[in-house]
């Protein structure tokens, strides 16, 4: 099976990191079709960045389907353009925030999310609420580092994450932690081992979810909300279901 994993920002080194996490999660026989969006912000840190990233991401999803992708993973924790992506795709489209939250509520009664910048906190709070887990999310925390600093200063980032995980455990009563950025994926296992708290990475959760949906033969419903976009000049043309 082929799973298309797209980094909606244009930073190639972050795509490589996401790809390593996706490959580790993938089962034997799963092909990871890894893509970096082009012409998009170098990092996604707010609503404007999300909006600027979506057109290129939608085009990449359409191209990946033509290559035979059986599922798509949007590897940004803000889940940018997730509903729009589901409109243009026949295959299932999975956002890493939604996938991670679903794992968290399965493993723990209460969890906290740790992200990069404070400006991302309200975005993630709203996402978690929209996924039906607002009551079970104790808090969305931030380590106050920009996304690209995760790649540039990994050890400093790791130390801040350890401290914040322990604070979430002791102060929030969190029983599990969701990492709120795809750029944190490679630290997941090490963080779990050091803190003793189950730490959930959305890239891993999304790839495994994608494999399950493919294995069950599911495709995106085209009966309403995720129906093909209507044909318009300069827009996406609808396709046969």
Tell me which residue range forms the domain holding 67.
2-95+204-215
Q: Above 90 in pLDDT, residue 115?
A: yes
Residue 24 forms part of a structural domain: yes
Residue 230 neighbours by CB under 8 Å, 6+ apart: 238
pLDDT for residue 232: 79
| Mean pLDDT of the residues in the chain | 94
In 59-70, which positions are buried (b, 16+ CB within 10 angstroms) versus exposed (e)?
ebbbebbeeebb
pLDDT for residue 150: 87
Confidence of residue 241 (pLDDT cuts 50, 70, 90): very low
* Same domain (yes/no): 78, 32: yes
Residue 142 forms part of a structural domain: yes
Sign of CA dihedral 128, 132, 133, 135: positive
* Same domain (yes/no): 26, 36: yes
> pTM of the predicted model, to two decimals?
0.93
Average pLDDT over residues 112-138: 97
Residue 129 forms part of a structural domain: yes
* Same domain (yes/no): 123, 183: yes
Instruction: Give residue-wise pLDDT tens across range 34-43.
Output: 999 999 999 9
Number of domains in the chain: 2
Q: Which residues pair with 113 in a beta bridge?
A: 140, 178
Instruction: Give residue-wise pLDDT tens across range 33-68.
Output: 999 999 999 999 999 999 999 999 999 999 999 999
Residue 228 forms part of a structural domain: no
């Amino acid at each position: 099976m082929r799973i298309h994993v797209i980094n909606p920002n244009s930073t190639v080194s972050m795509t490589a990191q996401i790809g390593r996490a996706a490959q580790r999660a993938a089962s034997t026989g799963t092909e990871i079709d890894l893509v970096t969006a082009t012409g998009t912000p170098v990092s996604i840190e707010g609503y404007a960045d999300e909006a600027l990233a979506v057109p290129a991401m939608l085009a990449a999803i359409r191209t990946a389907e033509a290559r035979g992708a059986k599922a798509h993973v949007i590897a940004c924790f803000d889940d940018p353009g997730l509903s729009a992506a589901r409109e243009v795709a026949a295959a299932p489209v999975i956002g890493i925030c939604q996938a991670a939250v679903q794992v968290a509520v399965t493993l723990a009664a209460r969890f906290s999310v740790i992200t990069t910048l404070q400006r991302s906190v309200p975005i993630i709070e709203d996402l978690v609420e929209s996924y039906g887990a607002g009551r079970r999310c104790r808090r969305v925390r931030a380590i106050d580092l920009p996304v690209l600093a995760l790649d540039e200063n990994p050890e400093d980032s790791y130390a801040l994450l350890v401290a914040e995980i322990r604070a979430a455990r002791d102060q929030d009563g969190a029983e599990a932690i969701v990492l709120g950025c795809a750029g944190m994926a490679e630290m997941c296992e090490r963080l779990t081992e050091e803190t003793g708290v189950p730490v959930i990475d959305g890239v891993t959760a999304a790839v495994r979810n994608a494999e399950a949906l493919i294995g069950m033969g599911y495709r995106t419903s085209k009966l309403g909300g995720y129906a093909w976009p209507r044909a318009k000049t300069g827009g996406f043309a609808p396709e046969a279901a």
